[in-house]
């Protein structure tokens, strides 16, 4: 696997809306690099002829009937919101790039 670069980390931080200082970026390149190297050991296992797996249980088609279940009340829904107004979640000004 290619080495994780400082640009990669800055890009990911941007996508995740995490503001990292220059010093933090440097530290994360190192720390994430170690994690990736550790996980990469798994890639040494011989997986020829083995189907990739995205779920631990070999089951399909778990569905529920289209029947309405009780929702939260608006008060309950908003109880964790730092700010609300007009029974809605108040969020900071939306993205500059739009």
- List contacts with other proteins (CB under 8 A): 11, 14-17, 54-55, 57, 59-74, 77-78, 80, 84-95, 97-98
Nearest distance from C-beta of residue 32 to other proteins, angstroms? 15
Of 45 and 86, the one with the shorter C-beta distance to other proteins is 86
Nearest distance from C-beta of residue 59 to other proteins, angstroms? 5
Which H or E run contains 85?
A: strand 84-85
CA gap 9, 28 in Å, rounded: 7
CA gap 11, 34 in Å, rounded: 18
């Amino acid at each position: 696997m290619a080495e994780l670069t400082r640009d990669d980390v800055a890009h990911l931080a941007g996508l995740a809306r995490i503001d990292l200082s220059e010093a933090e970026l440097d530290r994360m390149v190192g720390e994430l690099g170690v994690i990736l190297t550790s996980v990469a050991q798994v890639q040494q296992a011989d997986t020829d002829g083995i189907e990739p797996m995205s779920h631990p249980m070999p089951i399909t088609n778990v569905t529920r009937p289209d029947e309405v279940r009780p929702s939260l009340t608006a008060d309950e829904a908003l109880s964790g919101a730092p700010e609300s107004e007009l029974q809605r979640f108040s969020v900071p000004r939306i993205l500059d790039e739009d």
